[in-house]
Amino acid sequence: MKAKPVLKKIAIREALFVRSFKLAKSNPSKTGLMILFDILFIASFFGLQALSQYFAQSLVLPTTLYSATFFLVSFSLAYYLLILLAYSFFKYCVLDSIKSLFEKQEFSLRRFGQFYSLNIIIAGIFFAILLVFNLILANIKSSYAPFVFIFMAIPYILLLYIVSNIAHSLFYEGASIKSSIKESFKTTFTKMKAYRETILMMILASLALWLLFFGSGYLISLLGSKNYNLYLAAYAYFRQASIVIFDIMLYFIILINRVSFYAISRELQSERFK
């Protein structure tokens, strides 16, 4: 009868998310670098967005419809490729920090060009899938469209999240572009057990936060039921705090999950060369 709690403690101690958290916690300088790179990417994203808006306002479009369309498509493509370049650079730096948690690592941009190409290919694949989804949505009744959208959007986001993280980790572990993409899709559909914990943590955390916010919101409504002005003021602060807390918690889980995905990819690579 006493063995069950002990087994549960061992299971928790050996959980991938817990091990990844301990690994990240054991080297705060590397974890801090990961957070810094993410902040720099967000800053570069908004900087590129502001720069593109500035150029867009000063551009003079060609007079013909064909030329104007070609120009706008080219401008949009260049913008998204720049965003992807910034993302690729900072994610490459993050991967270097993650790998250094497992072994000593010297930073090198030798394979960065290939990593950027990998991200372009992944983006192209998922853009093509998105076009198929848009085609499906355009050919169904508008009353069903929101439900079909949710039904397709959730697995689409999860698929993109899993494939990109596994592909990035495999690539940084030395795999080729082709092998990274092939193995990431193969792992996603045939080895769900390997990464299910990382997805489960996101789902459980989202449910826990939802219950917390729902309960807090219900408590505020009860306390402010006799004072409408107090209710509006409290709800405004509660809403802002909820968004901040949710974003912080979600980022924390994504940060630790990156380490988990890298650990999974290292195991996959070691299995390939056995």
State the SS3 of 5-20. HHHHHHHHHCCHHHHH
Closest CA to 60 of 47, 74, 72, 76: 72
In angstroms, the CA 149 to CA 108 distance is: 42
**Cβ within 8 Å of residue 133, ≥6 positions away:** 152, 156
- The pLDDT of residue 197: 79
| In 103-227, alpha helices (H) | 112-138, 145-172, 177-190, 192-223
The pLDDT value recorded for residue 169 is: 95
Q: What does the alpha-carbon distance between residue 198 and residue 163 come to, in Å, rounded to a whole number?
A: 13
- The number of angstroms, rounded, from the C-alpha of 111 to the middle of its chain's C-alpha atoms is 22
- The reply to whether the predicted model has a pTM over 0.85 is no
Q: Which of 116, 126, 77 is nearest to 95 (CA)?
A: 116
Which residues, given as ranges, of the chain have pLDDT below 70? Answer: 1-14, 60-62, 216-236, 271-274
Segment (H or E) for 250? helix 228-272
Q: What is the pLDDT of residue 221?
A: 66
Q: What is the pLDDT of residues 91-136, one digit of tens each?
A: 999 999 999 999 887 888 999 999 999 999 999 999 999 999 888 8
Report in angstroms the alpha-carbon separations of 32 from 28, 44, 76, 252, 255: 6, 18, 33, 12, 11
Residues 68, 262: Cα–Cα separation, whole Å = 44
